[in-house]
Amino acid sequence: MDAAAGTAPAGRALVRPPGPRLAEGIVTHAARRPVDVELAARQHEAYVTALRAAGRRVRAVAPADDLPDAVFVEDALVVCGDLAVLGRSGAPSRRGEIPGAEQAARELGLRIERIKEPGTLDGGDVLDVGGTVYVGRGARTNEEGICQLARLLGGRRVVPVDVRGCLHLKSAMTVLPDGGLIGVPEMVDTSVLPCLRVAPEPEGAHVVVLGPDHVLMAASAPRTAARLAADGLRVTSVDISEFEALDGCVTCLSVLVP
């Protein structure tokens, strides 16, 4: 989950290197185009470098070379405090990514719970904003998965959010360091949300909070980056074009761990 509003995030991140079959990854909303696997590897290294430069201690999840989408490690688990909830994707081909993520979570000393059948849940649908957890309801995460997550997070306010025209909730909106939301209103049910700041371009909906005044964004969102910088935020931009070709964004490529 993203850092809670008003607090500086702690210092660990899980990542998973892209495998040789990356170009075979699932494409749902983007127009499929060729993916340069070697370029993707370099872009992933630059992404990891940006996390480290922000003070994150980066731990690599074991490679899963037979699973094209495994690089999008965020979908495999949700971390809240010392609890890791293992997901169960609505895309059956992605469920093999879970064992490696579980091993990494155990090595970090996290408690393990899991979403069970018939529930489905992708971590990319889970957005922590202070005391509220918004969970996208769509193709990858169903009502039963949301209910199971709410029970496992006992005491947290969990708000389902219908998503449309995008893969995950965090494809449509994320949280800024001050706890405000930024995103694309057309892609989410805004009736269950507080004020949503409109991103100048769709890629601007994707923000990783690296510190109380520091965010990580894709290079494909220059107008949003300029606007946030004008508001006093430090913006680090990284090129993730090869992952964007697979419906990916900056949030998908890591799990921030307290």
Instruction: Write out the catalytic residue numbers.
Output: 168, 252
**What's the farthest any 2 CA atoms get from each other in the chain?**
46
Torsion of CA 84, 139, 73, 14, to 10 degrees: -40
Q: What are phi and psi of 57, to 5 degrees?
A: -90, 110
What is the DSSP secondary structure assignment for residue 67, as one 8-state letter? -
3-state helix, strand, coil in the chain (%, to 5): 35, 25, 40
What's the CA gap between 6 and 22, in Å, rounded? 36
β-pairing, 157-162 vs 132-137, is parallel
Residue in 258, 7, 257 with CA at minimum distance from that of residue 130:
7
- Compute, in degrees rounded to 10, the torsion defined by CA atoms 38, 39, 40, 46: 120
Q: Is 12 exposed, middle or buried (0-12, 13-18, 19+ CB in 10 A)?
A: middle
Q: Are 127 and 78 in contact (CB under 8 A)?
A: no
